Amino acid sequence: MNLQRALIYLLISLAIAAAAIIILHIWGVDLGALFFKLLATIGILALLVGFLLVVKADFSEHKRLKDENFID
pLDDT surpasses 80 at 53? yes
Mean pLDDT of the chain: 86
The span from the CA of 57 to the CA of 40, in Å, is 26
Q: Where are the domains of the chain?
A: 3-67
Q: For the segment 17-50, what is each residue's pLDDT rounded down to a tens digit?
A: 999 999 999 998 888 999 999 999 999 999 999 9
Closest CA to 37 of 18, 53, 23: 18
The span from the CA of 33 to the CA of 36, in Å, is 6
